Copies of this chain bind each other. A is one copy, B any other.
């Protein structure tokens, strides 16, 4: 087995695949990276118990030669040192040769590394997904949907199903939902997916965070394939396979209040910055609570009080306040997470009293919804 490859392409592929490789894997060989050379190109594979990532570097692409001198073969290499080696090699191309006893020689210019490899037959076979249910969507939209929901997953293992994002596709509408039972984030979009439907797919938040990091905005679409217990995300050069969480995702639609008693329309960034400042003194306490009070028809007061340290007070002129007067306390962190996900300059916040969940949506778009439970402060 041997090949000569462009170093910059190898660097990117190795970094992507490393995201699936654990320093302390369940099976020792999974601390390695599988490298396969065929005449079509080089495939790198990494895996832990939750996710598997495969990156493919084609021999030729758009008339450019990426990989040359290929003798097909397959080997597993200790992943720990590989990224730094590839990154620090002196020249633009890297020669990769497997010699006797799985010795791997990696050289570039006058620099030559000899690494101890392993027989790839010991590497577990990754499941090949037969696309039962598949659809495509633009990568930038997909990444946005992850960012707008994944922060709200639970980090507690008491209800494992809540550590994932529920992905639902019904009536050509794709919905991402996440909740940790104190707040809920939801994002919808229309998908042309013919006859595909599913509703209880729950992807671990950790998988989506890793996927979000490695998905390349310059590629156009991602193909999503769902089976009973796994989900495969595929782009031109990348396959990302994640297990799904077992269990039934709770029915969340009834959490969203149907009535409202107070509505505030406000500039997103101004409210975000004010809450950020108000949270400064409260940052040690677990809930980071701030209080919002309406004053008349255009002023909202944000306050926070930390007996030992001091207090903070700020007024914002908002666009409108409709309905009942309101005093409500909530976690500044949840509010900031929600406002950061909005993508629009103006938001609407609908309250149904100081003790009921409230809802934040962009003024000009109802495809993003954030819900937050208030905090009792008396």
Give the B-binding residues of A (Cβ under 8 A).
Answer: 78, 81, 84-85, 88-90, 103-104, 110-116, 273-274, 276-277, 280-281, 308-316
Contacts and interface: CB of A to CB of B under 8 A. Distances in A.
Given A110-B315, A110-B316, A280-B81, A310 B89 contact: no
Contacts of A281: 81, 113
Contacts of A112: 312-314
B85 A309 contact: no
Nearest to A78: B309
B309 A116 contact: yes
A88 B314 contact: no
A314 B110 contact: yes
Contacts of A90: 273, 277
A376 to B, nearest CB: 24
Nearest to A312: B113
The 9 closest A-B pairs by CB, nearest first: A115-B310, A111-B314, A113-B312, A110-B315, A112-B313, A114-B310, A88-B277, A114-B311, A84-B280
Contacts of A115: 309-310
B113 A81 contact: no
A78 B104 CA distance: 58
Nearest to A317: B110
Given A81-B309, A116-B308, A308-B116, A111 B277 contact: yes
A373 B310 CA distance: 56
21 contacts: A81-B281, A81-B309, A81-B310, A85-B277, A85-B280, A88-B273, A90-B273, A103-B310, A104-B310, A110-B314, A110-B315, A112-B312, A112-B314, A113-B281, A113-B310, A113-B312, A113-B313, A114-B311, A114-B313, A115-B309, A115-B310
A111 B281 CA distance: 13
Contacts of A111: 274, 277, 312-314
Nearest to A85: B280
